[in-house]
Every structure is written in structure tokens, then in C-alpha cells.
Amino acid sequence: MFSIAIRYLCGWASAAANKKEEPEWPPHPDRVFMALVAAWAETGADQSEEQCLRFLQGLPAPRLSASLSYELHAASIIFRRDLNAEERVPVPVYVPANGDRREMKSPIKLMPSERKRNKRYFPAVIPESDTVYLIWPDVELPAEHRAALERLCAKVGYLGDTSSLVQMWVEDNPPPPTLVPTDERHYSCRLRVFRTLEELIADYERDKRAGQYLPRTFKWGYYREPEEKKPPTPSSHFAELLILRRTAGPTLDITDTLGLAKTLRDAAISLWQQRIESSVPEWLSGHTPSGGRSRRENGHLAFVALPNVGHQHADGELKGAALAVPQDVTKDEQTLLLDALFPLDEQTGEVRPLELTLGRLGVWRLEQETRSFPRMVTLHKPVWLGPAERWATVTPIVLDRYPKNGESEAEEMVAAACQRIGLPRPREVVLMPGSLFIGAPLANRFPSLPKKFGKTVDQHTHALLIFDQPVRGPILLGAGRYRGYGLCRPWRSGGEQ
């Protein structure tokens, strides 16, 4: 085993992601390789160092150890709302231009105080730990390359923006990885992985001939968190939450949840039939092949709308959607569905978005949220997964029947609903007409389920659930759980992250 260690000397890492105003974190392996190649090329192109680079480029994609908890540096976001802003807005910095005088109408603007200023972004993150490791667990660093790699590392002074000063070295005892390479593009973040020395040199020569930086082709790899070895936290039988980000389309309110969930379900079923096979599996449709109601032990796929709630300025607007996948649905089955929803365009190599037609309102365009940095807290998976001891509803739970014997019967129904989705029985259930989360309206303001379910808005209730131990989501309770009702979120008293 060996690793390349990178310590950010100022405590923060400044590098732009594909979108220039967003920070890149963790540093992509390709960025590290490029820094090493630059160190080699700019210091005399030593032959032993070149051989070492060729050795590195031939290795499998490295594992990464990088803090997955990080904050944004103030230079990259300036708060538009408050210190716990829901939406993190990148804010431009204006830097003096050194442009062609012909562009300037009046040359007094050459003077430092009058200089035209160009819009630039300096996105940066502050990771919890200032050191990142690229780890090859199954590779020994041959003696002939060690000295060269140590020399190359010592020659790298910054990574990303020049203000992002680093120290790099070869480390034989790195900490365990926090991200490992995977083939599954749907459940991972996408990072640029090593290109080859030849490709980098070709790009360099091409730019030199063109006299400018031309767009380049990167090599992408997928990374996910390693499987946990800790004793498992009790969780619902929904194992996975696949987050879909709205990239275009009309504004919808949290009370439009049912409509959006239905449209998403219809689209999923029809795209499965079009692109995979005509028979729709029970875990997806919720129906047996003969058309009866599914009795699967772990339930079936739930369609969820994700509203902006739970902070001072939350407005309940739907920011995206999600698919809550039952735990016995295999990765292969999920992948089939995601391939059907988001096919890869062979020509461009890009993933095509999913378009949902919402009648006269227009079309919602959805993409899978695979960015390592979702700008909206609503689209951050941990926000919906916990684990936490206390959970509260965002959309109302629909009780199985009208509780004739008052509140205690209703509480019992909610406790049973928890057990029905595989959770332990909560220690306490508190029912209430309103949600604890700002931005979520009263339970009876949500439209009732379609008539065939035979439920009324009188059966809607918000709730706070307290478990004896932290449990993991996604948590969806009650009769409307497959259509986005009964969606819970961890409730942390004294404020919500």
C-alpha cells in the first residue's frame, strides 16, 4: 500500500468545479496528477520522474480519504439569507482587469482606482480535516519510483487556485478511505480520474498552437462511500433515496406533492415499458402481475417530492423529487430503472434529463443529483436520511381509518405504521395539526388521496416521533407513503441544520 498525501496549509481548498462558481471537493485525482505532471515539466522533465508518472497513470483509480463534512469558504459564498441559509449562493468578486486598451472607452480607467473590474469566482471549501489522501491499497510503490515520487510531491506548492497552498508527500500509512471507486454511476459522485502523460502533453501542445486554452476531454470515474462495517442502525425498509434535482420547469408547492408523485410514477412505469420490457415488476408498480395489490414484505417503490422547508425563510416550494427504494430491490434492478429514466447519450457521453409533463403547467426537467456539492440543502441526502432519534412529518400521514376513539387510537395507528415499514416502535408519538417544520402547511390543507383509497382530509395528521435509539430513513408513513405523504425528516430541537 502507498498513498499520496495532500495537506491544505491554509485550512481551505480553492478550486473551481466544472461550473466555475462552484467549488470542487474532494480534489479530483486528475487535478493531483496534473499538478505532478506540471511539477515534472516545469523543473527540467527528469527522466526518472517521467517513468514514475507513467507508472502512476497505469494504476487503477485510487481510493480517496477526504473529509466528507466541509463548509464553504466565505470568499465563495456570501450569505443572502442568514447563517443557516437554505440556498448557498455563490457571490462574485470583482477583480481589476488588465484588458486591451481598445476595450476601454476612457483610458483613465487604466488607473488602479478606476480600473474596470471583471467578475470572478473564488470558490473554496473548508474541510473538517485539512489532509486528503489518494490511496492504492493493493499496490506497492517500487523502490525505483519512490524517490522520484517524493521529489515530485515536494515540488507541488498549490492545488487549484494559487492561493490554495499545499504540502504533498508519499504516505505509507494513510487513514481508511472515505470514497472508493465504483462502476455504478447512479449512486455516486463523479470525479475526474487520471489521464495519461501523452494526453496532457497533446493538450498542452494543442493549446500552444491555438494560442489559447481550448476545452479538454476529461476521463470520469465514479466514487461512493465504502460499505459501513459498523453495527447497522435500525432503518425503514426503504433502503435508498435517489435524489432528482429540478433543473427547469414551473414552480410547484408542497401541496402539489400528490400530483408530482403520480406524474413521476406514470413516467417511471411507461419508460420502463418503453426501454426495458413490457412487463413492469411488482417492486416498481406496486401491483402483482395479475393486477392485484402488492403484498411484498418490504413494500414497493415510493415517489417523493422534496420541498424547501425547515428554516427561517422556507417557502414550501418543491425543489426536486426522490425515489425511495425498498431494501430488497437489487442494485441491478435499480440500475435498470435509472438507465430507463436517465439514458446515457452515446454520442455526447452525457446523461439525458428526465422530462415530466405537468399538463398545462409545463414541463419539469429532472437530473440525478450526483454532484458532490448539491447547492440546495433540500437535495442533500443526509437531510432526509438521518440517522436521528426524533423525526417529524413534512407532509401529513394519512391514517388508515378515522380514529373513532380519539387521539390515543390515532397515535397507535402511527406507531403501527412505523412498524409496518420495518422501524422499531417509537417511544412516543405526538400528533398535531401543523408541521414542526417552517414552510409545511397544516395537514388538512393537503389534498386527499384519490377517491379509490377512500380516505378524507380528516385522516391527515402531522406528527413528531421519538425513538429509543437513532433510526435511519427515508421514513414514509401511512396510507399515502408511496405517493409522497407521511414524509419525515430528522427533527433537531433548537434549530435544524
Partner 1 sequence: MNTLTLQNLKDIVSGNAAAFRRVVKLEPVGGPGAKVFPPTYEGGKYATEKRWFNGKLVDCVLLDSVQSQANRMELALKEAVDEGRISLPVITVDFSKTEAAFVRRVTSLEAPHRIADAILRDSEWRNRVPFRKTSAGKALDNASLQNATELFGYCPTALVFGMWYSTGARGGLGVKFPRAIVSEIIGIGAVPGQRTGGRLDPLKITSSAGPIYETQDGDWTLESQKAKTKADKNGNIVPTLYGKKGKPSEINHGNVTPSLVVQKDQNGNPIDRSGTPTTRMDEWIPIGGFTIDYAQQITVISLPTLRRLRFPVKGKNDADTAARVALTALALCAATLSGEKGYNLRSQCDLYPPDGVPAWEVVGLNRTFSTFSLDAESAIKLFNQAVKEAKGAGLPWHSEGLTLVPREDLVALIVRSRATSDGDQGEEEA
Q: How far apart are the first and last CA of the chain?
A: 38
Residue 241 CB burial class (10 angstroms; 0-12, 13-18, ≥19): buried
On the 0-12 / 13-18 / 19+ scale of CB atoms within 10 A, 112 is: exposed
Rule CB under 8 A: choose which of 92, 289, 362, 470 binds partner 1. 92
Residue 163 in contact with partner 1, rule: CB under 8 A:
yes
Would you say 122 and 160 are in contact if contact means Cβ atoms under 8 Å apart?
Answer: no
Residue with Cβ nearer partner 1 (53 or 356): 53
Q: Which of 52, 53, 77, 264 binds partner 1 (CB under 8 A)?
A: 77
Interaction between residue 115 and partner 1 (CB under 8 A): yes
Question: Rounded CA gap, 303 and 50, in Å?
Answer: 52
Of 170, 160, 151, nearest to 44 by C-alpha is 151
- 1, 17, 68, 165: residue in contact with partner 1 (rule CB under 8 A): 165
- Tell me: does residue 82 bind partner 1 (CB under 8 A): yes
Q: Closer CB to partner 1, residue 154 or residue 201?
A: 154
CB 308 to partner 1: min, Å: 11
CB-nearer residue toward partner 1: 94 or 453:
94
- Range 201-230, binding partner 1 (CB under 8 A): 207-208, 211-213
Q: Which of 13, 64, 66, 126 binds partner 1 (CB under 8 A)?
A: 126
Give least dist CB 21 to partner 1, A.
13
**Of residues 189, 150, 165, 174, the one with CA closest to residue 36:** 150
Write the binding mask 386 to 425 for partner 1: x where contact by CB under 8 A, - elsewhere: ----------------------------------------
The residue from 34, 55, 158, 298 that contacts partner 1 (CB under 8 A) is 158
User: Does position 495 bind partner 1 by CB under 8 A?
Assistant: no
Q: Which of 68, 110, 358, 430 binds partner 1 (CB under 8 A)?
A: 110
Nearer to partner 1, 214 or 363 (CB): 214
Min separation Cβ 213 and partner 1, Å: 6
* Residues numbered 272-331 forming contacts with partner 1, rule: CB under 8 A: 312-313
Q: In the bound complex, what is the minimum distance in angstroms from residue 57's beta carbon to partner 1?
A: 22
Residues 18, 20, 47, 93: which binds partner 1 (CB under 8 A)?
A: 93
Min dist CB 365 to partner 1, Å, is 23
- Pure H helices in 159-302: 197-210, 257-275, 282-285
For the bound state, the minimum distance from the C-beta of residue 214 to partner 1, rounded and expressed in Å, comes to 11
DSSP string, 338-363: HHHHS-B-TTT-PBPPEEEE-GGG-E
Among the residue ranges 107-115, 219-227, 283-291, 329-337, the one whose residues contact partner 1 (CB under 8 A): 107-115
The candidate with the shortest Cα–Cα distance to 315, out of 380, 375, 392, 255, is 255
Which residues, 6+ apart, have CB-to-CB distance to 493 below 8 Å? 390
User: 223 Cβ partners below 8 Å, 6+ apart?
Assistant: 64, 179, 180, 181, 182, 188, 189, 190, 191
3-state DSSP call for residue 267? Answer: helix
Q: Site for partner 1 (CB under 8 A): which residue of 78, 139, 271, 276? A: 78
Give 38 or 336: the residue with its C-beta nearer to partner 1: 38
Provide the mask over 37-56, with x wherever binding to partner 1 is found by CB under 8 A and - wherever it is not: --x--xxx------------
Q: Which of 20, 81, 216, 352 binds partner 1 (CB under 8 A)?
A: 81
Q: Is 147 among the residues that bind partner 1 (CB under 8 A)?
A: no
Q: Which of 393, 383, 413 is nearest to 464 (CA)?
A: 393
Q: Is the dihedral of CA 472, 478, 481, 482 positive or negative?
A: positive
Q: Which is nearer to partner 1, 147 or 363 (CB)?
A: 147
- Are 239 and 474 a contacting pair, CB within 8 Å? no
Q: Is residue 175 near partner 1 by the rule CB under 8 A?
A: no
Beta strands in 315-472, from DSSP E residues, in sequence order: 318-326, 354-357, 363-368, 388-393, 397-398, 428-432, 460-471
- Closest by alpha carbon to 372, among 21, 12, 24? 24
Residue 325 cell numbers, joined:
427504494
Site size toward partner 1, by CB under 8 A = 65
Given a contact cutoff of 8 angstroms between Cβ atoms, the answer to whether 306 and 256 are in contact is no
Cis-peptide into 387, omega within 30 deg: yes
* Positions that interact with partner 1 (CB under 8 A): 7, 9-11, 39, 42-44, 71-75, 77-83, 91-96, 98-101, 104-112, 114-119, 126, 128, 154-158, 162-163, 165, 167-169, 207-208, 211-213, 312-313
